[in-house]
Amino acid sequence: MINPEILDGIEQRFKDITQEMFDPAIATDPRKMAILGREHTSLRSIVALITDYRNKVAEMRDLKEMIGNESDQDLLEMAELELDELESSFPKQEDQLRLKLIPKDPEDTKDAIIEIRAGTGGDEAALFAGDLYRLYLKVAENKEWKVELLGTSLGTKGGFKEIVFSVSGAEAFGTMKYESGVHRVQRVPATESSGRIHTSAATVAVLPEAEDVDVNIQSNDLKIDVYRSSGPGGQSVNTTDSAVRITHLPSGLVVTCQDEKSQLKNKDKAMRVLRSRLYDLELAKIESERSEARRSQVSTGDRSAKIRTYNWPQGRVTDHRLEGDDKNHALEKVMNGDLDEILNALRTADNADRLANI
């Protein structure tokens, strides 16, 4: 049986949200209303399932009581038959409700902003960052997602020191959030003449793209600098001050964008990244306040943690968060954008961990 305290809590939260949404003070706050509206919509279907579940539990209890006290043989047989039917369908209904009770990340439906940065390994790390970017482009193409480049810093021998881009489409963040962490590559670099295998790394950060209502940024909290954009080695890209650097003074976050020739477009892109980084900080704070029992072991996790190794000589990709047959995958398949097996295994493990606490 499902813990009734969990069901009570969900029903009470649904009542509280419904009441809050009719509060005149909240009704005039678009940001608060948007947040409550998303949660209200998410909980409505769950509360309906809880009502059906509780009705069936009560019905089975009443039938058992009736069977224990009934002397009329015909009524007794009818009650036993009805109880058998209810008990045979009950496990399926209970499982359906358990799956719905898995704590969902309300951010899963959002678009994503992905930041890839070269780590240890110098030029080879930058080349690997480029490989990861191409991998995610193929994933987006397979899923018919839209990709928009937001900022780049090129490597001296190819690839990227840093690349930031948005991914728009169904469940973009909910799918790609499992990519956050350190990705390690083992291969012979193109720059290595002796044929020795090197180990390099790149970090990936996947942020839910924040909307205006998600983060309130005051204009006096921003320091905006404009300067002349430049390419690798300091070579000027254009002769106007189109590059933009935005510093969020309270947090110290700095975002730069110089890829567009228009200062306004660069500012808009930089603000999108800044807004999402601030939103991610807020979500991380909320996550840290949750109990350990509610914290998933395989989801976004610690971005400093090594999550995956791409071994070129052995043609293998190993995800260190998984076990058994789910752990290793064919390198060529993965690099061609087929991440579904890995991501599905991570999502399944994530759900199993959450279900254990229901």
The pLDDT tens digits of the residues spanning 229-273 come to 765 544 445 557 889 999 999 999 999 999 888 999 999 999 999
- Mean pLDDT across 214-221: 89
> For residues 274 and 216, is the Cβ–Cβ distance under 8 A?
no
User: Strands of 253-257's sheet, edge to edge?
Assistant: 222-227, 243-248, 253-257
At residue 290 the predicted structure's pLDDT band, cuts being 50, 70 and 90, is: very low
Max mean pLDDT range (72-81, 281-290, 349-358): 72-81
Q: Is the pTM of this model over 0.75?
A: no
At residue 144 the predicted structure's pLDDT band, cuts being 50, 70 and 90, is: very high
Task: Kindly give, in sequence order, each residue whose CB lies less than 8 Å from that of residue 179, ignoring residues fewer than 6 positions away.
Answer: 114, 136, 204, 206, 307
> For residues 308 and 317, is the Cβ–Cβ distance under 8 A?
yes
pLDDT for residue 295: 41
Separation of alpha carbons 114 and 293, rounded Å? 28
pLDDT for residue 238: 54
Instruction: Please compute, for residue 143, the number of CA atoms within 13 A of its CA located in the half-sphere on the CB side.
Output: 22
With 0-12 CB in 10 A as exposed, 13-18 as middle and 19+ as buried, what is 292? exposed
pLDDT for residue 304: 64
Amino acid code (one letter) for 102: I
- Mean pLDDT across 141-169: 95
- Mean pLDDT across 9-14: 92
Domains of the chain: 4-101 (1.20.58), 112-210+296-355 (3.30.70.1660), 219-289 (3.30.160.20)
**Residue 351 pLDDT > 70:** yes
At residue 194 the predicted structure's pLDDT band, cuts being 50, 70 and 90, is: confident
